[in-house]
Amino acid sequence: DVQLVESGGGLVQPGGSLSLSCAASGFTFSDHYMEWVRQAPGKGLEWVGRSRNKANSYSTEYAASVKGRFTISRDDSQNSLYLRMNSLKTEDTAIYYCTRGSCSGGSCHSFPDNWGQGTLVTVSS
Amino acid sequence: DIQMTQSPSSLSVSVGDSVTITCRASQGIDNHLAWFQQRPGRAPKSLIYAVSNLQTGVPSRFSGSGSGTDFTLTISSLQPEDFATYYCYQYNTFPLTFGGGTEVQIK
């Protein structure tokens, strides 16, 4: 079975940094795009960013709200996805979900087909 | 950015009822439309991709349809475990975007 387990959440002050990890198992991690999605308390879902696979040069995409502050990386040897968050703002407070991507159609338009349980990041003084 | 507008934002229904949720994209997204279910306090679950394709294990009472900019999620004969919030999601154009969600409540 596919398993995605996030860790690293916690309380951080505005302007601080935090790193999240996602440990993947039950599938060939290196084949898949991976993404982060977040959800502020009582709010809807927001796409954060994407890491493509090795075949696509591990390229990344980011939401405008996090671009330049957040960095997605991965270690295929460890079956792990990471999210480095710098210059954190109170509006970054959310549950952060790791998702596995699957492609539909001839070209890879990737969508989440599996989700982790999430890790809570609270940015507050 | 492509705006995804869901309606209604909430509805109250009874077990056994049929439910239709609509999702409108502010521009064409081809067939790159997915639906997710989120029960209270739980992580989202993937239901449908490419407009109408059910994820493995999703009951056949869930169905999706639509094209271009207008899409629907239908749940026939609602079961107790279906009371949840549903989100549409376009994965055609960056930034990828979700609808605001539709909460399906018990009447």
- The contacts of residue A27 (CB under 8 Å, 6+ apart) are A2, A100
* A9-60 residue pLDDT tens: 999 999 999 999 999 999 999 999 999 999 999 999 999 999 999 999 999 9
Which of B43, B46, B96 minimises the CB distance to A118? Answer: B43
Report chain B's mean pLDDT, rounded to a whole number.
97
pLDDT of residue A106: 65
Which of B87, B91, B95 minimises the CB distance to A45? Answer: B87
B91 contact residues in A (CB cutoff 8 A): 109-111
- Quick one: DSSP state of residue A54? G
Residue positions counted in chain B: 107
Per-residue pLDDT averaged across B5-31, rounded?
Answer: 97
pLDDT of residue A5: 98
Is residue A7 within 8 Å of residue A82, measured between CB atoms? no
Longest Cα separation, chain B: 38
Q: Which residue of A has its CA nearest to B90?
A: A111
* Among the listed residues A68, A47, A67, the one whose alpha carbon sits nearest the alpha carbon of residue A110: A47
Interface residue B67 vs chain A (CB under 8 A):
no
Is residue A121 within 8 Å of residue A68, measured between CB atoms? no
Helix (H) or strand (E) holding A95: strand A94-104
* A111-124 residue pLDDT tens: 999 999 999 999 99
pLDDT of residue B81: 96
B100 contact residues in A (CB cutoff 8 A): 44
pLDDT of residue B35: 98
* A58-83 residue pLDDT tens: 999 999 999 999 999 999 999 999 99
Band of pLDDT at residue B97, cut at 50, 70 and 90:
very high
B32 contact residues in A (CB cutoff 8 A): 104-105, 109, 111
